[in-house]
Amino acid sequence: MNRVVVIGGCGRLGLRISLIAANKGFNVTAVDIDDERINEIKHGSLPFIENGAEIYLEQALKNKTLKLSLEYDTVSNADVVIITIGTPVDSNLNPSLEPLAGAIFDIAGYLKKEQLLVFRNTISPAILNRIKTLIEDKTGFKVGKDIYLAFAPEMLNEHENIHNLSNTPQPIGTFEKESFKVAEKFFKAITKGKISWLTPEEVTLAKLMQNATSYIQAAWVNESYLIAESFGANMHRIIDAMEIETGGKKQEARSTEHSSILRNPNPNNSGPGMHKEGWFLTDRTPFTELITNAFKINESMPSLIIKKLQEHKVSKVTILGMTSKADSDDARASLSYKLRKALFYQDYNVTCYDPYLPEYSDSSALQDTDVVILMTPHKEFQNLANILKLVKRSNCLIIDLQGFWKETRENGNNGILQISSTKTATKTKK
């Protein structure tokens, strides 16, 4: 079990598993349809930001354990075939099998007996049996006897880097024990984390529930922000009052696992998959309100910002941060785009600045703006004074619902701060 082929191997999910396996002694071929990305990777450049991945890519290319290809025929020489293509939802919010079915059709003619086929993506548990049937129908092989099938979604937290993947728990879902044994052998070679045997439904639910838990917790914090406002209370003062000290140093309770309800509000809490994965969990339960209401709360935050804007006479508005998470160039499902469109429809002059995205990397977008709206707290934005220097005007409204800046936490009204002509931070009127 030395040769690995990763379908979708130049994507964010596919490249991580490709690099990890290539640095654990496997000969890996990353197959992708994006020839531009393939060329970048071949020349030692990552096509996107992936913390810690540079050294993995450098070593894999140096040791010649990573190859890249546009062709599916490399599957015929593989011991392990990993599919990292996702499952979208259709216009009715039902899981769409087409992308996965297309991948199965593309590789079916190259599959051979005793190969391990691993689905690494996030999949609706409702389509797992259909995937098994498709594989058996297209290949003529029997799963668990002629070919082995496993579902092993990446359980890495999106804020962790590639180094953590080697220590992350890896539950594996299979229809029978034979496939689990083969998959277990492979994953034991690439991770020191706990490996568990689950059914395919259980392992996909584990991934979906992990993501949904984080999403629902964030929705509760956003709703807490709204509750605080309804009482005329400042959410950031509440959060700061709950700081605890550990080992002589202050540790914010909102950053701990057990105090997650005290995390900062986040008007951009979406990110890849969050806008669709919750719907994978709602078709089998009569109580869908928790998931659907979390979606409504998080997705409504851009509208809340616009409502706050309407209390002020402003023309030019600049959105700060267009990616879905800080210090990343991943803009998938970012609510910054929803905000931009809504502002445009409200007839504001909208500009955007994000140093991680080439199309928005011009800081002159901030010049002479009436309002700065922080959506993504990149490290490059940490100094508010530097941001105001780029604005180059004496009066500016700051909207920072996350309380990212000290000035807005201490002097703002729930993240709304008016910078006065005398450079003095004052609370805005309600």
3-state secondary structure of 318: strand
The stretches in the chain having pLDDT less than 70 are: 88-96, 157-159, 244-261, 271-276, 278-279, 283, 421-430
295: β partners: none
pLDDT of residue 156: 78
Question: Please, what's the b/e burial string for 190-226 (b: 16 or more CB within 10 A of its CB; e: otherwise)?
Answer: bbebebebbebeebbbbbbeebbebbbebbebbbbbe
Q: What is the pLDDT of residue 259?
A: 43
Query: Measured between alpha carbons, how far is residue 176 from residues 45, 135, 230, 258 in Å?
Result: 40, 15, 54, 36
The alpha carbons of the chain give a radius of gyration, in whole angstroms, of: 24
Question: What is the pLDDT at residue 270?
Answer: 76
CATH superfamily placement of domain 210-427: NAD(P)-binding Rossmann-like Domain (3.40.50.720)
Closest CA to 268 of 341, 229, 215: 215
Give how far Cα 19 sits from Cα of 16, 158, 406, Å.
5, 17, 39
For the chain, give every residue range classified as CATH 3.40.50.720.
3-198, 210-427
Residue with tokens 């910078």: 419
Q: What is the sign of the dihedral through the CA atoms of 350, 356, 361 and 363?
A: positive
- Distance CA(363)–CA(356), nearest Å, equals 12
Residue 145 confidence (pLDDT): 96
| Sign of the four-CA dihedral 160, 163, 169, 174 | positive
What is the pLDDT, as a whole number, of residue 14? 94
pLDDT reported for residue 245: 53
Under CATH, which number does the domain 3-198 receive? 3.40.50.720
